[in-house]
Amino acid sequence: MAHITPSHAGFPRTAAVIPAAGRGVRLGPGIPKAMRPLGGVPMLVHAVHAMASSAAVSLVVVVAPPGDEEGLAKVRALLAEHPPASGAELAVVPGGATRQESVRLGLAALPDDVAVVLVHDAARPLVPAATVDAVVAAVAAGAPAVVPALPVTDTVKRVAAPAAVPGAPEPVVATPDRALLRAVQTPQGFDRATLAAAHARHAEDDATDCAGLVERLGLPVVLVPGHEEAFKVTRPLDLVLAEAVLARRRTDDAH
């Protein structure tokens, strides 16, 4: 079992939960998104290493697609083949039908002594260590919920409802002030008890991020600066961008 490094003695035990049970249909047909290769290695491995790159993180729990023992064994073997340099402990548990359910199952697998939890999408494989550290630091400083975020560069329109037929013209109902909008990323960091309460209280809700559940509890959520390299790999073009970022990092490392 891995332990927090001596420089983090006294720091609350911190674990990362990585929901990786999505199918990733927007990337096109084929293997689950987290298993898509990036620089020759599945995206999930990059995401695990990104979490373990923060010295505070001593455990990473990966939530894999449910209902497939062979699939779980494959994920375990993959991670054993690519252990993080930090020596952080790894665990793999089966997920659920929604991201929220997958996160809840990951949280349930954490040992009792974990007090701070990061929730990180497998689909954000390239988040820099400094961003992870900034989130951990803000939780350690007392914030119950911390979210990395960036200003939005596109103007955003609100429509009344999603189009019934994809591609059909959609009437605009509002244009929110862009200066007040932020695009949020992961890892989102939480005081564990706060996150567990949010998930227990809103188990039936359909939130696209964990911080949204904490907001519904009426507790404060704060933003810290995100990073452009923490983008989510959703569409085929995102894979091209991710490969380019990785290639640039490798060139930078070689010099």
Interatomic CA distance for residues 71 and 210, integer angstroms: 26
Interatomic CA distance for residues 192 and 15, integer angstroms: 10
Q: Which of residues 106-135 bind ligand C5P (CB under 6 A)?
A: 121-123
Is residue 27 a contact partner of residue 34, using CB atoms and an 8 Å limit?
Answer: no
Interatomic CA distance for residues 221 and 196, integer angstroms: 15
Which span sits near ligand C5P by CB under 6 A: 15-23, 154-162, 175-183, 211-219? Answer: 15-23
Q: Which of residues 136-165 bind ligand C5P (CB under 6 A)?
A: none
CB atoms within 10 A of CB 159: 12
Q: How far is the CB of 71 from ligand C5P (least distance, A)?
A: 13
Member of 48, 63, 72, 210 binding ligand C5P (CB under 6 A): 63
Member of 34, 88, 118, 195 binding ligand C5P (CB under 6 A): 34
Q: Is 99 in the site for ligand C5P (CB under 6 A)?
A: yes
CB atoms within 10 A of CB 70: 6
Q: Which residue, 55 or 63, has its beta carbon nearer to ligand C5P?
A: 63
Member of 15, 17, 21, 72 binding ligand C5P (CB under 6 A): 21
From the list 214, 88, 92, 188, the residue with the least C-alpha distance to 134 is 188
Q: Tell me the angle at which helices 99-108 and 192-201 cross, rounded to the nearest 10 degrees.
A: 130
Q: Which residue, 86 or 234, has its beta carbon nearer to ligand C5P?
A: 234
CB atoms within 10 A of CB 136: 24
One-letter amino acid at 202 equals H
Q: Is 102 in the site for ligand C5P (CB under 6 A)?
A: yes
CB atoms within 10 A of CB 50: 26
Size of interface with ligand C5P, in residues (CB under 6 A): 18
Q: How far is the CB of 209 from ligand C5P (least distance, A)?
A: 9
Q: How far is the CB of 159 from ligand C5P (least distance, A)?
A: 20
Residues at the interface with ligand C5P (CB under 6 A): 19-22, 33-34, 63, 95-99, 102, 121-123, 232, 234
